[in-house]
Chain A
């Protein structure tokens, strides 16, 4: 759809240019002659389009993240009535029954099932203004990290390992502080949260850090009343796991007071089986009432927030575009009033009214295109920026570290909008120029 609109927007100036008899060089010369006006008008377009590009990249990053998470062959089980992992409480007895259903894939006779408890926890971080601030972190307690990683299709970045059976290790250099004397809790971090936690380090910590960009294997951090050690970083860019800390469930859940499982993720033979299995659990399975969803569909459903942001951006885009239209209209009316004589001469030379219209329309679109292109380029610099946000709705949601993503659709939308603004903004002044009588114009 976007590409069709873009094609239309590009086609209009091309058609105008091909049918126009007045050379485009005439308009370009006028634009360069009044370069200050041209630059200022174009810069207004640049500001509007650059901003829209950044905002669309944010929404696109969010969309990519929710659509890129999960396996189509997995079925995710939450408690009946729970729309979000945070508010789910699964009965252990039910989990054992479901895991052993024939649709669940097996490896070495073991069901490919990941039992998980997702917790949202507070972390105290130093406040630059003094004292401490809090931030929320997502902690996923799991039983067997290797099995869970296979179910989720995740792997570690080189140099890392999954946490041990015990989930703890001795502190290598015990300090006098009580938190450091206790064994360290082993944690595996998503890349995004490793980056976030890495940002909170002091200058002294950064000076000795082996990775200044993010926490890496061997680094430690405080969470709750214990010190945690990073044993691995998940290759998770582009998924919501990017923002999660994984640790031994028995330790994490007990520490933060959640004694039930929130989620069960089951691997099946493939997407078709997963769909059938989900249907079976929703309609025919009578032993327990659960909320079963294909994993990819669950994460897609989190994009509700994306829709809200899209509406907001759409609204701002329309309003700012109206501003842009009035802005270019102002410039074009001024251009026409300054070039009355030119218009009169062109008419006397035999150029038709519609050719005058085409000429001024093209001029307005050139200003818009130059400004808009620059805006797209500036906005594209945001590609790859990371941003914190929450995805999901209905009272829950996931904290995510997402990457802004500029793609061809966004650039096409930006250029479409800029050309549309140029066209609409130039239309009224061009019509007024077209209606001028040659002699009146010369007078």
Chain B
């Protein structure tokens, strides 16, 4: 205990140096936490789950995937035909739609990108919406009930709501853009996704969308919309485990029902991983250049601060030796001071980053693939102290070793 007190007292002795060391560590741990938060989420979504597999069925070769809507029904049964064929636990259709609030001048802010789906599946099939806190879950269920009751209802992500300056209950008219030209949809905003989840997405009732595709032909002398024959973009299927997924994928990919166009069935993690492949080098740079450079900088700064501190305290270290301190105790003393500084700074940094980013800013805006905003995970609260502590231990090892080797006679002879 006395030893611990000594460590605390030594850290407080040169408050300016301790403060500056803490500040550098706080700042650099902040950068590492941001980078790791982005990588953490990307790793999470690309890591296969052991249970509750989500499988994704898309067009085999082309992107964006465009499948006939007639595929939806047999796919929802997993193309099961024979006794013993496996069927998915649940399924959800995704039909993409993109429209703008201002057809003459469309910008990132006034474009809304959404999915037409079965409303009730939002609560059960969307990752991140099936494990909400009770209050948010109840709100989501209310919004879904409204979406089912009002076929022209729409649930908007927070970013859309903010960018369009609209509120729940207001109406909006979207003019189809790109592939969706000619499909102009009118909606009433019935709810919003919980903050931090699907902020850049909108969801609406697929019945309304499919009716509008049919209505397009009626309005255009029977000429169908270019998407009419292939309006289903992807199908999400839920299966209990890896083995069931393998069987289901085999059933679907070998089924003659899905030959033109051919389909592929992959796990959600694998699908997302493929999409992120385009950002492979950027992610590599974040993982292997940015974060390590910050760690090296922390290490150097701490090593520098501790080495200055040891140099200034050679006399004190010599006195401690004369008083009976063993070399390993001096080593631990210096390492302890450094560990204390690093881990406290790391904890402060992680706490501040978590609070400011998640509660203050609503996430880090870093558009990569279809991810737009990243939250700091709770795990970051231990990353901070761990990074700070480990970097300080490594950085202070050499100075601590030098403190261990202080020779009392040499030091006193110089003083004399």
Question: Does the CB pair B63–A121 fall under 8 Å?
Answer: yes
- Which residues of B from 311 to 345 have beta carbons under 8 Å from A? 312
Question: Does the CB pair A79–B181 fall under 8 Å?
Answer: yes
Question: Does the CB pair A390–B312 fall under 8 Å?
Answer: no
**Cα distance, A119 to B367, chains bound together (Å):** 23
Q: Nearest chain B CB to A431's CB is how many angstroms away?
A: 13
Is A273 on the interface with B (CB-CB < 8 A)?
no
Q: Nearest chain B CB to A224's CB is how many angstroms away?
A: 5
Q: A121-B62, A388-B281, A394-B111 are in contact. Are A87 and B294 (CB under 8 A)?
A: no
Question: Does the CB pair A40–B307 fall under 8 Å?
Answer: yes
Question: Does the CB pair A133–B278 fall under 8 Å?
Answer: no
A95-103, A228-236, A322-330: which one contacts chain B? Answer: A322-330
Q: Nearest chain A CB to B217's CB is how many angstroms away?
A: 16
| Number of chain B interface residues as a range | 35 or more
**Cα distance, A87 to B178, chains bound together (Å):** 5
**Cα distance, A326 to B280, chains bound together (Å):** 33
Chain B contact residues, majority secondary structure: helix
Q: Which single residue of chain B is at the shortest CB-CB distance from A432?
A: B16
- Which residues of A from 96 to 142 have beta carbons under 8 Å from B? 119-122, 133-136
Is A47 on the interface with B (CB-CB < 8 A)?
yes
**Cα distance, A395 to B23, chains bound together (Å):** 40
**Cα distance, A287 to B366, chains bound together (Å):** 42
Is B176 on the interface with A (CB-CB < 8 A)?
yes
**Cα distance, A195 to B212, chains bound together (Å):** 45
Is A286 on the interface with B (CB-CB < 8 A)?
no
Question: Does the CB pair B61–A323 fall under 8 Å?
Answer: no
Question: Does the CB pair A320–B177 fall under 8 Å?
Answer: no
Question: Does the CB pair B300–A40 fall under 8 Å?
Answer: yes
**Cα distance, A89 to B229, chains bound together (Å):** 15
Question: Does the CB pair A47–B181 fall under 8 Å?
Answer: no
B264 partner residues in chain A, CB cutoff 8 A:
122
Q: Mark A203-237, 1 if CB is under 8 A from B, else 0.
A: 00000000000000000000011000000000000
**Cα distance, A133 to B179, chains bound together (Å):** 28
Is B60 on the interface with A (CB-CB < 8 A)?
yes
A312 partner residues in chain B, CB cutoff 8 A:
366
**Cα distance, A389 to B108, chains bound together (Å):** 20
- Which residues of A from 43 to 97 have beta carbons under 8 Å from B? 43-44, 47-48, 50-51, 54-55, 58, 79-84, 86-89
Q: Mark A286-322, 1 if CB is under 8 A from B, else 0.
A: 0000000000000000001000100010001001101
Is A393 on the interface with B (CB-CB < 8 A)?
yes
- Contact partner, A326, options B27, B226, B275, Cβ 8 Å: B27
- Contact partner, B285, options A58, A304, A390, Cβ 8 Å: A58
- Contact partner, A83, options B59, B178, B367, Cβ 8 Å: B178
Q: Mark B88-115, 1 if CB is under 8 A from A, else 0.
A: 0000000000101001001010010100
Is A337 on the interface with B (CB-CB < 8 A)?
yes
Question: Does the CB pair A44–B307 fall under 8 Å?
Answer: no
- Contact partner, A81, options B24, B60, B178, B297, Cβ 8 Å: B178
Question: Does the CB pair B66–A83 fall under 8 Å?
Answer: no
- Contact partner, B16, options A134, A323, A333, Cβ 8 Å: A333
Q: Which single residue of chain B is at the shortest CB-CB distance from A38?
A: B304
Question: Does the CB pair A119–B293 fall under 8 Å?
Answer: no
Q: Nearest chain A CB to B158's CB is how many angstroms away?
A: 18
Question: Does the CB pair A329–B20 fall under 8 Å?
Answer: yes
Q: Which single residue of chain B is at the shortest CB-CB distance from A371?
A: B300
Q: A44-B300, A308-B367 are in contact. Are A333 and B290 (CB under 8 A)?
A: no
- Contact partner, A79, options B31, B178, B230, B294, Cβ 8 Å: B178
- Which residues of A from 236 to 277 have beta carbons under 8 Å from B? 255-258, 260
- Contact partner, A330, options B66, B98, B301, Cβ 8 Å: B301
B27 partner residues in chain A, CB cutoff 8 A:
319-320, 322-323, 326
Is B47 on the interface with A (CB-CB < 8 A)?
no
A86 partner residues in chain B, CB cutoff 8 A:
63-64
Question: Does the CB pair B30–A319 fall under 8 Å?
Answer: yes
Question: Does the CB pair B62–A133 fall under 8 Å?
Answer: no
- Contact partner, B293, options A41, A51, A84, A89, Cβ 8 Å: A51
Q: Identify which of A41, A51, A121, A389 gathers the most chain B CB atoms within 10 Å of its CB.
A: A51
Is B363 on the interface with A (CB-CB < 8 A)?
no
**Cα distance, A390 to B367, chains bound together (Å):** 11
Q: Mark A337-349, 1 if CB is under 8 A from B, else 0.
A: 1100000000000
B61 partner residues in chain A, CB cutoff 8 A:
121-122, 224-225, 255-257
- Contact partner, A389, options B98, B106, B282, B290, Cβ 8 Å: B282
**Cα distance, A304 to B367, chains bound together (Å):** 11
**Cα distance, A43 to B264, chains bound together (Å):** 51
**Cα distance, A84 to B181, chains bound together (Å):** 13
- Contact partner, A395, options B31, B62, B113, B285, Cβ 8 Å: B113
Q: A256-B62, A320-B294, A323-B27 are in contact. Are A330 and B305 (CB under 8 A)?
A: yes
Question: Does the CB pair A395–B304 fall under 8 Å?
Answer: no
**Cα distance, A394 to B178, chains bound together (Å):** 11
Q: Mark B5-42, 1 if CB is under 8 A from A, else 0.
A: 00000000000110011011001101100000000000
Q: Nearest chain B CB to A196's CB is how many angstroms away?
A: 10
Q: A394-B108, A395-B98 are in contact. Are A257 and B274 (CB under 8 A)?
A: no
B59 partner residues in chain A, CB cutoff 8 A:
257
Question: Does the CB pair A257–B62 fall under 8 Å?
Answer: yes
Is A387 on the interface with B (CB-CB < 8 A)?
yes
Question: Does the CB pair A330–B17 fall under 8 Å?
Answer: yes
Q: A322-B27, A394-B108 are in contact. Are A399 and B278 (CB under 8 A)?
A: yes
B181 partner residues in chain A, CB cutoff 8 A:
79-82, 89
Question: Does the CB pair A387–B178 fall under 8 Å?
Answer: no
Q: Nearest chain B CB to A424's CB is how many angstroms away?
A: 13
Question: Does the CB pair B63–A395 fall under 8 Å?
Answer: no
Is B239 on the interface with A (CB-CB < 8 A)?
no
A89 partner residues in chain B, CB cutoff 8 A:
179, 181, 226
A161 partner residues in chain B, CB cutoff 8 A:
none
A256 partner residues in chain B, CB cutoff 8 A:
61-62
Question: Does the CB pair A83–B177 fall under 8 Å?
Answer: yes
Question: Does the CB pair A326–B177 fall under 8 Å?
Answer: no
Question: Does the CB pair A119–B62 fall under 8 Å?
Answer: yes
A443 partner residues in chain B, CB cutoff 8 A:
none
Question: Does the CB pair A389–B300 fall under 8 Å?
Answer: no
- Contact partner, A87, options B16, B179, B273, B296, Cβ 8 Å: B179
Q: Mark B392-409, 1 if CB is under 8 A from A, else 0.
A: 000000000000000000
Is A27 on the interface with B (CB-CB < 8 A)?
no
Is B159 on the interface with A (CB-CB < 8 A)?
no
Task: Pull 22 A–B residue pairs with CB atoms less than 8 Å apart, ordered by A.
Answer: A36-B307, A37-B308, A41-B300, A44-B304, A47-B293, A58-B285, A81-B176, A82-B177, A88-B179, A89-B226, A256-B61, A257-B61, A308-B367, A320-B27, A323-B31, A323-B297, A326-B301, A387-B285, A388-B282, A389-B279, A393-B108, A399-B278
List 6 A-B pairs, minimum CB-CB distance, nearest first.
A87-B178, A387-B281, A323-B27, A134-B274, A120-B63, A81-B177
Given pairs A134-B277, A387-B282, 11 additional interface contacts (CB within 8 A) = A37-B304, A37-B308, A40-B300, A44-B300, A48-B297, A122-B63, A136-B275, A323-B27, A334-B17, A388-B279, A390-B278
